[in-house]
Chains A and B, each alone.
Chain A
Amino acid sequence: MALTSPPLPVSKHDKVIPGYHFVCAVLAIAEPRGVSVHKLLRGTGIFDDAITPNLRVSGKQLIALIGNVQSYCKAKDASFLIGKHLANALLNHEFSSIKDAGSLTQVIRLVTTQRWLCLPLVSFARYEVNENSLWVARDAMGCSKIWPFVMQISLSMLVAFAKASSKTRLPFHFGMTASRPRNIEDFETYLGLRLNFNAPFMSLMLPKGSVLAPFERGNVGGEAQHGSFVEPEIGTHTSSDATLSILDKVRLLTEHNLHASLPDAAAEFSMSAATFKRKLKEHEYSYRALTEEVRREQAIVLLAMKKLNNEQSASEMAFSDLPNFRRAVKRLTGHTPSELRAL
């Protein structure tokens, strides 16, 4: 029964992303910078006359579009401008309630439930690290080469959301895997000064206080404390597979069951191991690469950021013996646990 079966996680070829604002933002920035619409849409399978609010695109199509901007648009700040433009478009339409949000938590909830509108290619894993909330970015659709560009779009959009809701610049810390770029000025202007290059993963971090504290609405008065913020409906749908990509879902599985094998994971998707492998390959990933990515992320968060000792970390990562744990950490991160703690 097609109607009653739970929605499957979204794969790269599913045309389910409401990409109208995304495509419009790309065109609005790239076109005045000398890239024709024709060139931008070439090879994407998106047609000029189909760009209406009802447009549905696949992750693959968005990736092709962003690939075209990256190679044809010479402006170095194009990614940040696209993110800002996308944020403005969403703030004027689907996300207009962000302006009245009472705290960042509400904004985060909206962004999470509406992720296909704003973050179709990126998902975030949240960790609580001492006094901070850390979001580690994960490639949701297999962006490969355009991943840094996608992250620049996404981060500049999120900063614009935070600014629109809090009316201030929040003290975001950004981790970037790339080395210090030549156009550092653009990063500083659009994201802020707290930038950390050569980081182990793309991430953003905020003090927990900024996340939880209600926004001050100085001149509006107490009434606005509750505001007209429309809480997104949070039912069974929030963490349902419909807001996850296949890669997200596999990562979640391995996060919860670190020893899940490829056939176990394939069974979760009701697929044969061969089909599952092929599916992941379409997303430029292998099962092994995905599990190792998650474990590497966990090792770095636990050891280098939370500074937990080996026993605690090993038990968090479901390792039964320490030598095995140490070997695995060294293989995944290139550092021993004590080296990581010293970072």
Chain B
Amino acid sequence: MFKLRNHTQFGHHKGWLVFTVAVLSLALVLSLNAGSPKLFAEISWLDILGEGSIVLLTLAWILSALASRPPGKVTRYIVIGLGCILFSASLDLLDEFLRYPPASHWLSMIESFPAVVGMLVMTGALYLWHHEQRAINIQLRRREWDYRDHGEIDPITQLYRGEYWQARAAAFQESGGNGYVAIIDINDFSYFNERYGQAEGDRYLHEVAQLLIMNLRQQDLACRYAGDRFALLLPDVCETQAYNIVKQICISIEHVAFRHQASAEAIYTSARAEVAQLTPVSHLPNILRGMLGKLEKGQRTAA
């Protein structure tokens, strides 16, 4: 069955989870060794509420960073930085419960220093993160355009859906861009699903999505419009170039020998496409309707 697994990253971070526990334990051991408990009446619960929340939230940040990020330099610095802040915050919280003898005043003197170090490390980490994100943005070219909304990503093809495409096309028009849009429709895809099963159909769409990405220029955008339809946005091309790109994509779809998982038999499909010009003054919904209408008519005559 075609399934994309996407678990949390905790499995790769056992060492850092131990580090986090160690930071908390160290703070606990140091302050318990040095201090003695305060009287109940001396304890300020309001301070505990505030400082306790800082400890818990810092801990939550560490865990969410570990859950979502793969191991690497940026993750390492983020956790070290947050770990230092966690250490300071825990000492701060514990001295609400404990009274230190004069000999142990050094402990409350230094308690804020790890936080400063932690924030410096975090600043460095964020700077590295910025570089990392720029590298990832290049990887995401042709899949994503200057707006991120992970809820809109189609799980089957890992492309954005039609709604995203329309929003980007509209933004592109507003910025005064000229270009072409295209809708590509796989022929007889319901027959494909019926014959080879839904799971194979989904896998096929996934492969076609990869193929589209491969066939586009860096500045183009590919989305899964809906069902077996894909939408393209091709900025700054002339008519012949746009038609060529789309024609070549249709040709490469025809040449894909898709292997059925069970029988290894090669399955060939074809696609048809509609291309239209997009100018800052054109009305996108009308263009889209026109293209979809033509695609439906094409289906009628092809039958």
Q: How many residues of A contact B (CB 8 A)?
A: 30
Interface residues of A in 74-111 (CB under 8 A from B): 74-77, 80-81, 84-85, 88, 92
Cα–Cα distance between A80 and B2 once the two chains are bound (Å): 20
B3 at the interface (CB under 8 A from A): yes
Partner of A74 from the list B155, B292, B296 (CB cut-off 8 Å) is: B155
Partner of B226 from the list A34, A169, A188, A193 (CB cut-off 8 Å) is: A188
Q: With A75-B155, A80-B227, A189-B226 as known contacts, state yes or no: A85 contacts B198, CB within 8 Å.
A: yes
The 8 A CB mask of B179-198 against A (1 = contact, 0 = none) is: 00000000000100110011
**Are A77 and B198 in touch, CB under 8 angstroms?**
no
**Are A185 and B163 in touch, CB under 8 angstroms?**
yes
Cα–Cα distance between A31 and B156 once the two chains are bound (Å): 13
Which residues of chain A are within 8 angstroms of B194 by Cβ–Cβ distance?
88, 92
Which residues of chain B are within 8 angstroms of A193 by Cβ–Cβ distance?
289, 292-293, 296
Cα–Cα distance between A192 and B299 once the two chains are bound (Å): 12
**Are B300 and A189 in touch, CB under 8 angstroms?**
no
B225 at the interface (CB under 8 A from A): yes
Which residues of chain A are within 8 angstroms of B264 by Cβ–Cβ distance?
none
**Are A32 and B227 in touch, CB under 8 angstroms?**
no
Q: With A88-B193, A168-B303, A183-B161 as known contacts, state yes or no: A189 contacts B229, CB within 8 Å.
A: yes
B92 at the interface (CB under 8 A from A): no
Which residues of chain B are within 8 angstroms of A31 by Cβ–Cβ distance?
1
Cα–Cα distance between A81 and B3 once the two chains are bound (Å): 17
Cα–Cα distance between A138 and B144 once the two chains are bound (Å): 42
Which residues of chain A are within 8 angstroms of B225 by Cβ–Cβ distance?
185, 189
**Are A167 and B303 in touch, CB under 8 angstroms?**
yes
Cα–Cα distance between A266 and B194 once the two chains are bound (Å): 46
Which residues of chain A are within 8 angstroms of B193 by Cβ–Cβ distance?
84-85, 88
Cα–Cα distance between A167 and B299 once the two chains are bound (Å): 9
CB-CB nearest in chain A for B200: A32
Q: With A85-B198, A169-B300, A189-B227 as known contacts, state yes or no: A33 contacts B155, CB within 8 Å.
A: yes
Which residues of chain B are within 8 angstroms of A92 by Cβ–Cβ distance?
194
Which residues of chain A are within 8 angstroms of B1 by Cβ–Cβ distance?
31-32
Which residues of chain A are within 8 angstroms of B292 by Cβ–Cβ distance?
188, 193
B237 at the interface (CB under 8 A from A): no
Which residues of chain B are within 8 angstroms of A84 by Cβ–Cβ distance?
190, 193
A186 at the interface (CB under 8 A from B): yes
Which residues of chain B are within 8 angstroms of A74 by Cβ–Cβ distance?
155
The 8 A CB mask of A175-193 against B (1 = contact, 0 = none) is: 0000000111110111011
CB-CB nearest in chain A for B227: A189
Which residues of chain A are within 8 angstroms of B197 by Cβ–Cβ distance?
28
B83 at the interface (CB under 8 A from A): no
**Are B198 and A81 in touch, CB under 8 angstroms?**
yes
**Are B299 and A169 in touch, CB under 8 angstroms?**
yes
**Are B161 and A185 in touch, CB under 8 angstroms?**
yes
Cα–Cα distance between A41 and B3 once the two chains are bound (Å): 20
The 8 A CB mask of A138-179 against B (1 = contact, 0 = none) is: 000000000000000000000010000001110000000000
Partner of A182 from the list B3, B163, B190, B228 (CB cut-off 8 Å) is: B163
B43 at the interface (CB under 8 A from A): no
Cα–Cα distance between A186 and B202 once the two chains are bound (Å): 16
CB-CB nearest in chain A for B300: A168
A29 at the interface (CB under 8 A from B): yes
B162 at the interface (CB under 8 A from A): yes
B267 at the interface (CB under 8 A from A): no
**Are B226 and A32 in touch, CB under 8 angstroms?**
no
Q: With A33-B155, A185-B161, A185-B163 as known contacts, state yes or no: A190 contacts B202, CB within 8 Å.
A: no
B199 at the interface (CB under 8 A from A): yes
Which residues of chain B are within 8 angstroms of A85 by Cβ–Cβ distance?
193, 198
Which residues of chain B are within 8 angstroms of A88 by Cβ–Cβ distance?
190, 193-194
CB-CB nearest in chain A for B223: A185
**Are B198 and A34 in touch, CB under 8 angstroms?**
no
**Are B299 and A29 in touch, CB under 8 angstroms?**
no
Q: In whole Å, how far is B151's beta carbon from the nearest beta carbon of chain A?
A: 9
Cα–Cα distance between A33 and B2 once the two chains are bound (Å): 9
**Are B190 and A32 in touch, CB under 8 angstroms?**
no
Cα–Cα distance between A33 and B300 once the two chains are bound (Å): 31
Cα–Cα distance between A92 and B156 once the two chains are bound (Å): 26
**Are B226 and A77 in touch, CB under 8 angstroms?**
yes
**Are B190 and A160 in touch, CB under 8 angstroms?**
yes
Cα–Cα distance between A28 and B1 once the two chains are bound (Å): 11
Which residues of chain B are within 8 angstroms of A167 by Cβ–Cβ distance?
303
Which residues of chain A are within 8 angstroms of B300 by Cβ–Cβ distance?
168-169
CB-CB nearest in chain B for A76: B161
Cα–Cα distance between A74 and B151 once the two chains are bound (Å): 10
**Are B296 and A32 in touch, CB under 8 angstroms?**
no
Q: In whole Å, how far is B78's beta carbon from the nearest beta carbon of chain A?
A: 30
Cα–Cα distance between A183 and B229 once the two chains are bound (Å): 13
Q: In whole Å, how far is A93's beta carbon from the nearest beta carbon of chain B?
A: 12
Cα–Cα distance between A183 and B160 once the two chains are bound (Å): 12
**Are B296 and A169 in touch, CB under 8 angstroms?**
yes
Cα–Cα distance between A160 and B227 once the two chains are bound (Å): 14
Cα–Cα distance between A186 and B303 once the two chains are bound (Å): 22
Partner of A28 from the list B156, B198, B228, B299 (CB cut-off 8 Å) is: B198
**Are B226 and A183 in touch, CB under 8 angstroms?**
yes
Cα–Cα distance between A77 and B1 once the two chains are bound (Å): 19
Q: In whole Å, how far is A209's beta carbon from the nearest beta carbon of chain B?
A: 15
8 extra interchain contacts, Cβ-Cβ under 8 A, other than A32-B3, A84-B193? Answer: A32-B199, A32-B202, A76-B161, A168-B303, A169-B299, A184-B163, A189-B227, A192-B296
Q: Which 8 A-B pairs have the closest CB atoms?
A: A185-B162, A185-B226, A189-B226, A189-B227, A88-B194, A186-B226, A167-B303, A168-B300
Pairs A–B under 8 Å by Cβ, sample size 19: A28-B197, A32-B2, A32-B199, A74-B155, A75-B155, A77-B226, A81-B198, A85-B198, A92-B194, A168-B299, A168-B300, A183-B163, A185-B163, A185-B225, A186-B227, A189-B225, A192-B296, A193-B289, A193-B293
